[in-house]
């Protein structure tokens, strides 16, 4: 599969502060990819370099096979930025028509209105829209050029649940059309549900990447929770096979372990009166916290 975005040994320094630190990252064409990381991890700096808005201190960024930031590339790439407002006095339709006029092969106005769900509001002034509606309009603006690659920085901020649902459906439909989507988001469960590929960054470095399933499987502990009628002392739980952490809440015990088969066998063989067992896989949020909290010791390549 061809690469849509390639960051090769990318570095960006602001004075002494290194926002992006020798980052090697790539995203495949036709996939939905997510860039996750805590605040200050370097997500927006990375996206800005991919868009050609800022120049790397060193390293290289290739977008759709060519160096980032060229005028020709801007015909093929759509971007949804944070904190962008429309000019006062323009209607929704005028904003979209204006953006369509910038591109050689624009998406139809009808489709943009469908995607944004702003058909009924096309004659309203953009400045009078609610926060979520403005975000949907900004999303439609990013699609005005019918882009091959779509970069979305925190796309669902301000959207209500219904709008977010429609937004993710649209993203899925755009990917099914063969477009590449790269997004940053704080809604980890949404990235988990929609992304084919996730890269987790912290302190300007890639700390893990892969499919959501692979990330979760490789980096986090499963939990086994149960009731124990004759529970031993808390330290004794830590001697059980694979157990790395224990939480006790009255009779309810929660054990965290990489592998649970042997642990379950041991528990069932014990005389602690185990009942009401519940086993849970890690969520992407657990993975995220594990990776970004202690990334230096849990880096996965």
Partner 1 sequence: MSTMFALLKIEGKLVWKGIDILIFGICFPIILAVLFGYLLSKEASSGSSNFELSYAAVITIGVLATGVMGLPLTIADYRHRGILKRFQVTPVSPLQLLFAQGLIQLSSALVSFVGVTLVYYLFFDYRLAGSWFMFLSVYAFVIVAMYSIGIFIGSVVPDQKAANMWSSVAYFTMLLFSGATIPYEVMPRFVQLIMDILPLSHGIHLLKMVTTGEAMAGMAVPMLILGICTVISLVGAFKFFKWK
Tell me the sheet residues that pair with 130.
Answer: none
How many Å apart are CA 221 and CA 232, to the nearest integer? Answer: 22
Q: For residues 141 and 266, give the distance between their C-alpha atoms in angstroms, rounded to a whole number.
A: 58
Residue selected from 4, 7, 61, 86 as contacting partner 1 according to rule CB under 8 A: 86
Question: Which position among 39, 101, 230, 235 is part of the footprint of partner 1 (CB under 8 A)?
Answer: 101
For partner 1, give the closer residue by CB, 96 or 174: 96
117 lines the binding site for partner 1 (CB under 8 A): no
d(CA 224, CA 227): 10
Measured from the CB of residue 81, what is the shortest distance to partner 1 in angstroms? 6
- Write the interaction track for partner 1 spanning residues 54-73; mark x where CB under 8 A is met and - where it is not: -----------------x--
Contacts (CB under 8 A) with partner 1, residues 136-175? 141, 145
| The one among 14, 40, 58, 102 contacting partner 1 by CB under 8 A | 102
Binding test (CB under 8 A) with partner 1, winner from 87, 229, 238, 248: 87
CA distance 73 to 63: 8
**Please, what is the minimum distance in Å from the beta carbon of residue 109 to partner 1?**
12
85 near partner 1 (CB under 8 A): yes
CA distance 240 to 145: 58
Q: Confirm or reject binding of residue 90 to partner 1 (CB under 8 A).
A: yes
The answer to whether 49 contacts partner 1 (rule: CB under 8 A) is no
Cα radius of gyration (the chain): 23
Q: Interface with partner 1 by CB under 8 A: which range of 94-102, 108-116, 185-193, 239-247?
A: 94-102
Nearer Cβ to partner 1, position 63 or 113?
A: 63
Q: Write the DSSP assignment of 45-86 as a string of letters.
A: HHHHHHHTSS--SEEEEEETTEETT-HHHHHHEEEE-SS--P
Dihedral Cα 148, 301, 40, 244, nearest 10 deg: 130
**Residue ranges in 165-224 that form contacts with partner 1 under rule CB under 8 A:** none
Taking alpha carbons only, the member of 22, 2, 25 closest to residue 12 is 22
Q: What kind and span of H or E run contains 6?
A: strand 3-14
Residues that bind partner 1 (CB under 8 A): 51, 53, 71, 74-75, 77, 79, 81, 83-90, 94, 97-99, 101-103, 141, 145
């Amino acid at each position: 599969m061809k690469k849509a975005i390639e960051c090769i040994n990318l570095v960006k320094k602001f004075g002494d502060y290194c926002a992006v630190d020798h980052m090697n990252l790539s995203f495949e064409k036709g996939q939905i990819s997510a860039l996750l990381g805590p605040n200050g991890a370097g997500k927006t700096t990375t996206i800005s370099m991919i868009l050609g808005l800022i120049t790397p201190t060193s390293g290289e960024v290739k977008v759709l096979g060519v160096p980032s930031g060229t005028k020709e590339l801007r015909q093929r790439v759509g971007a949804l930025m944070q904190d962008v407002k429309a000019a006062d006095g323009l209607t929704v339709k005028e904003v979209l028509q204006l953006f369509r006029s910038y591109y050689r092969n624009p998406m139809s106005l009808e489709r943009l209105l469908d995607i944004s769900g702003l058909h009924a509001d096309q004659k309203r002034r953009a400045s009078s829209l609610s926060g979520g509606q403005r975000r949907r309009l900004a999303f439609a603006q990013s699609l005005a050029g019918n882009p091959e690659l779509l970069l979305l920085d925190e796309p669902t901020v301000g959207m209500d649940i219904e709008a977010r649902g429609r937004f993710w459906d649209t993203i899925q439909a755009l990917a099914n059309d063969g477009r590449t989507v790269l997004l940053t988001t704080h809604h980890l469960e949404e990235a988990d549900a929609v992304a084919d590929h996730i890269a987790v960054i912290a302190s300007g470095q890639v700390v893990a990447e892969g499919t959501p399933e692979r990330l979760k499987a490789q980096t986090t502990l499963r939990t086994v929770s149960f009731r124990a009628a004759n529970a031993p002392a808390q330290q004794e739980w830590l001697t059980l096979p694979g157990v790395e952490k224990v939480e006790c809440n009255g009779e309810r015990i929660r054990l965290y372990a990489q592998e649970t088969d042997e642990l379950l066998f041991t528990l069932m063989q014990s005389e602690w009166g185990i009942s009401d067992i519940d086993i849970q896989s890690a969520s992407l949020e657990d993975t995220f916290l594990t990776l970004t909290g202690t990334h230096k010791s849990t880096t996965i390549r």
